[in-house]
Structure 1
Amino acid sequence: MKIELRKDISPFWLIALLAIFVGTTSVSAQSPSFPIAQQINCDRPQGDAQVRTCIRLRYEASDQRLNEVYKQLMSQLSGEERSPLSEAQLGWIKLRDKTCEFEVYKSRGGTGYGGFLNECLDRMTKQRTVELEQYLIKQR
């Protein structure tokens, strides 16, 4: 690895950078392994943290599915049809996000806020996916 240093850097910073580099490499070399993240069984989550993680993962999967269906639909549309769908989808995303923010507004600041928000996002995303799937069926 080649490291180029600026000519105007002070010796203090050179020593500090070298100490950080040597310190981090020696620590990582001494560590036998980093702990592996615990697998979560979302069919039977244990505790609030796992429940919130599972809700977030469920929403992320729904969002990924929505994007897949959206891309499929866009690929079957003419150029003229793509623009209105794109605009509608952007509008729907804003609507979904604002609706969910409103729906969980009273729980803001609480430990369950993120979970409640992700549940709403998941529900609305699944509904939109069904709508786009219906458009996809009509295109065939």
Structure 2
Amino acid sequence: MKFGLTALLLAGLCSNLVQAAGDSCQHAMTQADMNVCAAKAHELADKQLNSLYQQYRQRLAADDQQRLTIAQRAWIGYRDAACRFETAQVSGGSIFPTIWLQCLTGKTENRIKELQKLLQCQEGDLDCPALQ
């Protein structure tokens, strides 16, 4: 059962990595190469998240900027704790870096979607924090 789950996770990772990290990751055969590709995919997602975060933060009043900072720090704590939990079964194994980075990337991509939605808020939208 563990092998099947790991294989499914790896298959999903590979398809995401091909899109996110380019052609060099399409043919990754070794665990070391897969780890490098997972790191590239995470780096791309993290850069996009940071860019969206800064764009959105600039649209907020000072009080809301502070609230966003607190929320983002809490999200980082959640992301890390959730990924520690979700990757515990492979902890210490050679596949761990790939699975860990896949988890971080997935959570980061979800946060990107949240920030993209917030960036689309219009003034007066009650579902969104007040914009400047």
* TM-score, normalized by the shorter chain, greater than 0.5: yes
Point out the more displaced range, 77-86 or 40-49.
Answer: 40-49
Please give the TM-score of this superposition, normalised by the length of structure 1: 0.69
RMSD of aligned Cα (Å): 1.3
1:70 equivalent in alignment to 2:53 = yes
Q: Which has the larger radius of gyration?
A: 1
Tell me how far 1:79 sits from its aligned partner. Answer: 0.6
Structure 1 residues 60-85: Cα deviation after superposition (integer angstroms, max 9, x where no partner): 11011000000000111111211111
Aligned sequence identity (%): 30
Determine the C-alpha separation between the residues in 2 that align with 1:44 and 1:107. Answer: 23
Unpaired runs of at least 5, structure 1: 1-39
Contact map agreement 1:96 1:121 (CA 8 A) in 2:
yes
Determine the C-alpha separation between the residues in 1 that align with 2:60 and 2:88. Answer: 38
1:46 equivalent in alignment to 2:29 = yes
Tell me how far 1:46 sits from its aligned partner. Answer: 3.0
Unpaired runs of at least 5, structure 2: 1-22, 124-132
Determine the C-alpha separation between the residues in 2 that align with 1:59 and 1:113. Answer: 14
1:61: which partner in 2? 44
Give the alignment of 1:1-140 within 5 angstroms.
41-139=24-122
1:22: which partner in 2? none
Alignment coverage as a number of residue pairs: 101
Contact map agreement 1:76 1:139 (CA 8 A) in 2:
no
